[in-house]
Chains A and B, each alone.
Chain A
Amino acid sequence: MKNSKTLYWRKNLSYLSLLLAVWFIISYGAGILFAEFLNHFHLAGFPLGFWFAQQGSIYVFVVLIFVYVFLMNRLDRAFDVDEK
């Protein structure tokens, strides 16, 4: 029991690190630090860095949360700690 709980928590933390890495790379990376560079590329009429900063990052945030919900619901059931 003790071990499975530790494993559950470790899995949770690894999901968190993965998703937060994406969160950071998209918003602070593509939207700010590398935006000037990405602006050399275009997505229709949008310079790419500008698009990430004012549109793309927000879409990615929404997707990240729903991916997390899906992963955690699956994990809760697998380790039998979900709510009845």
Chain B
Amino acid sequence: MDTQLWTYVLVGATFLIYIIVAIWSRAGSTQEFYVAGGGVHPVVNGMATAADWMSAASFLSMAGLISFMGFRGAQYLMGWTGGYVLLALLLAPYLRKFGKYTVPDFIGERYYSRNARLVALICALFVSFTYVVGQMKGVGVAFARFLNVSFENGVLIGIGIVFFYAVLGGMKGITYTQVAQYCVLIFAFTVPAIFISLHMTGNPVPQLGFGSKGRDGVYLLEKLNQLSADLGFEEYTTLGKNSLVNMFCITAALMFGTAGLPHVIVRFFTVPRVRDARTSAGWALLFIALLYTTAPAVAAFGRTNLINTVAEKPYAGVPAWFTNWERTGLLAFTDKNGDGKIQYLADTNRNELTIDQDIMVLANPEIAGLPEWVVALVVAGGLAAALSTAAGLLLVISTSISHDLLKKYLKPDISERGELWAARISIAVAVFAAGLAGLHPPGFVAQVVALAFGLAASSFFPAIILGIFDKRMNREGAMAGMIAGIVFTAAYILYFTPQLGGPGTSEGFWFGISPEGIGTLGMSLNFTVSILVSRYTSPVPAEIQELTESIRFPRGAGEAHDITIH
């Protein structure tokens, strides 16, 4: 069988599994729709959280990014995993004890203010929507490249699948489908990595393989450093000329942003007990770590293979994968000096090869000469990653509309049945809106995602932490802090992002911090403003102080719908 046929078979089979799981686990009540009835086992929840978290970007783009960034790629590896430590230690157990459905629920109740709820609601919608548009675009690209359909039809197929199981199943359907998707994506990511590691170093564990000796008896990373230096690139394992402060800030912004993202936090409302919320975060990170520790190995292998296969080789003799990717335009060769060989160099004037870093994961199995079915498996895995994340985000959007906006703000007397229908309708609308935005994506999706992390770090994270750990934090402090954090972060990002029309250039960065990392400063500003304002304004009402006290002790958590105050 050829790659095309394998792709149809594997993608078709995995989609069939998702649909069967969705029918088997559909939701019957709002509680099942929002938090899967609050009865999900922590290991299962951990797996679903991992699939929810790892998007098309983690699966398809990250290893490629690291491959071209070398050491500095660690900012993504640490930034997107370290946040789970904060979640497990500082947020998840307390929010589970609090026992509501959403982040705006917590902000609204803890800060006894409908306006605070509304601010949180708008932030949650914005963050989730920017994220989901990127996923829809990813689905479209993957379909277009591998199923021979147009980009538009690819997006439409994606919409159809997500629509089916998200509308029908709610959180319950999504959770169990995500478990299936996790299995598909982790299998699809690790199998090629194991093959490549065996092939290049003889060690079947990629995490150890890229620190071992290659077939020629030289350590792989040592060789890669040498190859990079020969071509004029930075050594692969060193920071080189890059800014330490900037790397520090980007890592921190991603970590604190992770811990403030609504679609991640909401997952910890689905487990039965407080102790399960703690354990569940641990399992989630373990499942994420499987992919995140494999990715840097894939990156190093891919980079070495690429340089060995193309650098200084005659263009006439390039392998088939090279020509295939040339056709997509994502890989291009121009023979500047006319010697018929490929010069791949750091010096842009003499370099003759341009590679889109997003193709690394997809091209890696081909570069390493693995069988066709492995390539097809990677496609199925990439789709699983994109769909699972899209579904989780769409659920947050629909919950925000039907629960936070409709039930808590506009129409409090709505019936359980009415709310469930409102949730289904709003998820349907959200799916189509996201699909439409995915069809005509603004060219600056990547920049907007940086904005999403920056805003989550500079708004939600401090408000939630202070709401739990500082009994004196009041409505005025939290609101002032959130607004200061958001306005500062958004203004800096807009000013220094040319794709969004900003006039700033990288020479003007404060302390050399790029927009990706500015959330860290925004967050510090939020903390400072919140604490200062709260100390000079009216104290917190007694019943809110009791609430803050009660979420600190696990006993009496109950199901995720009512608060027990001792």
Residues of A within 8 A of B (CB): 5, 8-9, 12, 16, 19-20, 23, 27-28, 31-33, 35-36, 39, 43-47, 49-51, 53-55, 57-59, 61-62, 64-66, 68-69, 72-73, 76, 81-84
Residues of chain B lying within 8 A (CB to CB) of residue A66? 282
Of the residues B71, B82, B251, B554, contact of A81 by C-beta under 8 Å: B554
Contacts A33-B244, A39-B237, A83-B555 given; does A65 touch B281 at CB 8 Å: yes
Tell me whether B289 and A61 are in contact (CB under 8 A): yes
User: A80 to chain B: closest CB distance in Å?
Assistant: 8
Tell me if B26 is interfacial: C-beta within 8 Å of chain A. Answer: no
Given A73-B275, A83-B555, also A68-B88 (CB < 8 A): yes
Residue pairs across A and B with Cβ atoms less than 8 A apart, 27 shown, are A12-B552, A23-B85, A32-B244, A32-B247, A32-B248, A44-B212, A45-B219, A45-B220, A50-B221, A50-B238, A57-B81, A59-B289, A61-B84, A61-B285, A62-B285, A62-B286, A65-B88, A65-B281, A65-B285, A68-B88, A69-B275, A72-B93, A73-B275, A76-B554, A82-B275, A82-B555, A83-B556
Q: Are A55 and B207 in contact (CB under 8 A)?
A: yes
Known: A50-B71, A61-B82, A72-B278. A16 touches B90 (CB 8 A): yes
A59 to B285, CA, bound (A): 10
B81 engages A76 (CB within 8 Å)? no
Whether the pair B71, A35 counts as a contact (CB closer than 8 A) is: yes
Closest B residue, CB atoms, query A23: B85
Partner of B292, one of A27, A43, A45, A58: A58
Contacts of B555 in A (CB 8 A): 81-84
Q: How far is the CA of A72 from the CA of B78 in the complex (A)?
A: 25
- Min Cβ gap B235→A in Å is 9
| Pairwise interchain contact B553-A53, C-beta atoms closer than 8 A | no
Other A-B contacts than A27-B251, A73-B275, A83-B555, 17 sampled, CB-CB below 8 A, are A45-B219, A53-B78, A57-B77, A58-B293, A59-B293, A61-B84, A61-B85, A61-B289, A62-B286, A64-B85, A65-B281, A66-B282, A69-B278, A76-B554, A81-B553, A83-B273, A83-B556
Report the Cα distance A5→B77, complex, angstroms. Answer: 38
B296 within 8 A of A: yes
Q: With A and B bound together, what is the CA distance between A28 and B213 in angstroms?
A: 29
For A8, give its contact among B244, B293, B553 (CB under 8 Å): B553
Chain B at the A interface: SS class = helix
Kindly state whether residue B211 has any CB partner on chain A within 8 Å.
Answer: yes
Q: Within 8 Å CB of B103, what residues of A?
A: none
Q: Residue B89 at the A interface, CB < 8 A?
A: yes
The answer to whether B222 touches A58 (Cβ under 8 A) is: no
- Chain B contact-residue range equals 35 or more
Min distance, Cβ A58 to any Cβ of chain B, angstroms: 5
Q: How far is the CA of A57 from the CA of B84 in the complex (A)?
A: 12
B10 CB within 8 Å of chain A = no
> Do the beta carbons of A45 and B74 come within 8 Å of each other?
no
Chain B residues, Cβ within 8 Å of A59: 289, 293
| Cα distance A12–B553 in the bound complex, in angstroms | 10
Residues of B close to A28: CB separation below 8 A: 248, 251-252
One of B207, B221, B553 near A5 (C-beta < 8 A): B553
User: Known contacts being A59-B289, A65-B282, is A83 close to B237, with CB within 8 Å?
Assistant: no
Look across to chain A and name the residue whose beta carbon is closest to the beta carbon of B70: A50
Cβ of B77: which chain A residues have Cβ within 8 Å of it?
53-54, 57-58
Bound complex: CA of A61 vs CA of B210, how far in Å? 21
B279 at the interface (CB under 8 A from A): yes
Closest-by-CB residue of A relative to B252 is A28
**Residues in B neighbouring A72, C-beta threshold 8 A:** 93, 275, 278
